Every structure is written in structure tokens, then in C-alpha cells.
């Protein structure tokens, strides 16, 4: 019997993950009263049962304090119950944006600001986040990417990538990304914008890539940047960090930053490291995710 507890931040994708796990063959139940968790596990584990994969959703809307749910999970593990915890997470900025776009009310901010609810929930869930076997950050994750990650972990039993790295190109004139952990400025490189034949193109076009990468300083910068990031990654993983946003910026976010972010993505992707990797071009209109 494979038993998965699915929990996480409100707006982090718990309900979506449960639906996907159901599609992948899991028997799913959401928000059982805490007092019934033990009994539920006993029932689905009955010898002869045809149910072999179960996912149980828990969040701060349970009928009792979440501290009691955490205590129950700890007791089950102490008794030798084989269970896994999947924690669905997202950055504070992403969660606030999702609530404001959908105009939903945060369960811990019924009469207050969404920001206050997110902050309070972070504190409430800090203990179970630390207990989680898997933490998936959905801040910049597409639906198909989330499904692929769940299938990789819970169907194919492949190694879990505890760190999700987003390589993000941007333009300084549009502002530095608020969620960036590391920011690098490539405005020192020759700018294709001033060449008539390249001005209307972007770093997604081969002509721009060839122009930017023909310069020795582009290659040296990329070598040094890759070396530093590969040095940092295992230390971030040891620290328990589950998301890392590396932002590369130029003036408008169209040419140099897009090229360098794309080249870095190719190099890191070929290394086959123990991390997930995404490429996103924030300021290239209509052609962002990759």
C-alpha cells in the first residue's frame, strides 16, 4: 500500500495535485476530519482490498487545528505506518497574485488582507513542511510540468529533485524580478538592438544568439556563471532550499539576457544534475515559458 498525504499552502496546487494523482490511479480523499485519519488508513489497508495507492488531502480548513493533524501524522509514523508527505508550495508573491486574480478569500484571512493570511499559514504549516518527503514549488510551474513531476515521483518512482531551478531572463527597464534569488547583469555585452537586422528579433532567434555568443566575454561570463552555480547547488540542497530563481538581465530583456539564459539552460540541462530546471523569458511577449 502506498499512502501519500498531500498538503501545502492554500493556492499552492493541492487540489490540482489530488486530481492528477486520481488520474494516475490513486484513490483520493480530501479534508477528512482529523479524528478519522487513523480509521481511514485502517480501512483502506484491510487485507484483500483492491486499493493499493491512496492520496489524502489535508489543509488548514480541517475541522480541528492543523497542529492536531501534524500530531496524528507523527503518531502514525512512530507506529511504523508507511506514508509519504507531499507539500505543495509557492512563493508569497505567487500566492497573493493567485488569490487576487481569482478573488477568492484566503481561509486564514476571512476579514483581513490576503498577505496576512499567507503569512499566518506559513507559520502554521512550517512544521509539516519540514517533515515533507517532497516539496513541489508551483510558482512558475505549468500544469503539464506538475503532472510530469507527479508521474515521475509517484508512478515511475524516479529520484525526486528537491531543488527546482528557474533560469529567468528579464529587462532592467521593466524592473528586477521580485522572486529572484540571484541576479546577474549582462548589459556589459554588445547590444544587438543597435543593429537594424537584429533589432526586431530576440534571443530566441539563431541570428541573435550567434551575434551575442561570438564575443569572448560572453563565453567567459557563461563559463564562470555555470561554475559558480554548480558549486552553489549542492549547498542549497543541503540547506533544504527547494526553489532557486536565477535572473539574468539586460536593458529590455529581449536579446542578450534571453541568449545567455538559453545557453546556460542548455549547459545545465546536459549535466543531468539532481535538480529540476525551467527556463522562462519574462519580457519576451507571448514567448515566455520553456
Tens digits of residue pLDDT in 144-170: 889 988 998 998 887 777 788 999 999
Q: Which grid cell sits at 233?
A: 547547488
Q: Answer yes or no: do 69 and 213 share one domain.
A: no
State the Cα angle at 53 between 51 and 59, rounded to 5°: 115
> For 45, which DSSP code?
T
The Cα 163–Cα 135 span in angstroms is 9
Q: Answer yes or no: do 214 and 77 share one domain.
A: no
- 195 phi, psi to nearest 5 deg: -105, 120
Determine contact, residues 199/193, Cβ cutoff 8 Å: yes
Residue 171 in any domain: the answer is yes
Among the candidates 154, 188, 219, a domain finishes at 154
Q: Answer yes or no: do 102 and 214 share one domain.
A: no
Q: What is the mean predicted confidence (pLDDT) over 124-149?
A: 88
Q: Answer yes or no: do 236 and 140 share one domain.
A: no
Q: What CATH number does residue 81 fall under?
A: 3.40.50.300
Q: Answer yes or no: do 35 and 141 share one domain.
A: yes
Q: What is the mean predicted confidence (pLDDT) over 94-105?
A: 86
Please list the residues that pair with 5 across neighbouring strands. Answer: 56, 85
Q: Answer yes or no: do 60 and 184 share one domain.
A: no
Full residue range of the structural domain in which residue 146 is found:
2-154
Number of domains in the chain: 2
Q: Answer yes or no: do 123 and 180 share one domain.
A: no
Q: Answer yes or no: do 112 and 169 share one domain.
A: no
Pairing state between β 2-8 and 53-57:
parallel
Determine contact, residues 155/129, Cβ cutoff 8 Å: no
Kind and range of the H or E run holding 27:
strand 27-30
pLDDT digits (tens, 9 = 90+) for 248-277: 999 999 999 999 999 999 999 887 667 888
Among the candidates 154, 181, 210, a domain finishes at 154
Determine contact, residues 92/65, Cβ cutoff 8 Å: no
Amino acid at each position: 500500500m502506498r499512502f501519500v498525504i498531500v498538503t501545502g499552502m492554500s493556492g499552492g496546487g493541492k487540489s490540482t495535485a489530488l486530481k492528477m494523482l486520481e488520474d494516475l490511479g490513486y484513490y483520493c480523499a480530501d479534508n477528512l476530519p482529523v479524528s478519522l485519519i487513523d480509521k481511514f488508513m485502517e480501512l483502506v489497508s484491510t487485507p484483500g482490498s483492491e486499493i493499493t495507492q491512496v492520496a489524502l488531502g489535508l489543509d488548514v480548513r480541517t475541522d480541528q487545528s492543523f497542529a492536531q493533524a501534524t500530531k496524528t501524522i507523527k503518531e502514525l509514523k512512530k507506529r511504523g505506518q508507511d506514508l509519504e508527505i507531499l507539500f505543495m508550495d509557492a512563493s508569497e508573491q505567487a500566492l497573493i497574485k493567485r488569490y487576487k486574480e481569482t478573488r477568492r478569500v484566503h481561509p486564514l484571512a476571512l476579514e483581513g488582507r490576503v498577505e496576512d493570511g499567507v503569512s499566518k499559514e506559513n507559520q502554521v504549516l512550517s512544521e509539516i513542511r519540514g517533515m515533507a518527503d517532497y516539496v513541489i514549488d508551483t510558482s512558475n510551474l505549468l500544469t503539464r510540468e506538475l503532472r510530469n513531476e507527479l508521474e515521475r515521483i509517484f508512478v515511475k518512482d524516479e529520484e525526486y529533485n528537491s531543488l527546482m531551478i528557474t533560469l529567468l531572463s528579464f529587462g532592467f527597464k521593466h524592473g528586477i524580478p521580485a522572486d529572484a534569488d540571484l541576479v546577474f547583469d549582462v548589459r556589459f555585452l554588445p547590444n544587438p538592438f543597435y543593429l537594424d537586422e537584429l533589432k526586431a528579433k530576440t534571443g530566441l532567434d539563431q541570428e541573435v544568439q550567434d551575434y551575442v555568443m561570438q564575443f569572448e566575454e560572453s563565453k567567459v561570463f557563461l563559463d564562470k556563471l555555470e561554475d559558480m552555480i554548480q558549486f552553489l547547488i549542492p549547498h542549497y540542497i543541503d540547506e533544504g532550499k527547494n526553489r532557486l530563481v536565477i535572473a539574468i538581465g539586460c536593458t529590455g530583456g529581449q536579446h542578450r539576457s534571453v541568449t545567455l539564459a538559453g545557453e546556460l539552460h542548455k549547459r545545465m540541462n546536459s549535466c543531468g544534475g539532481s535538480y529540476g530546471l525551467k527556463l522562462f523569458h519574462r519580457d519576451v511577449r507571448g514567448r515566455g515559458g520553456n
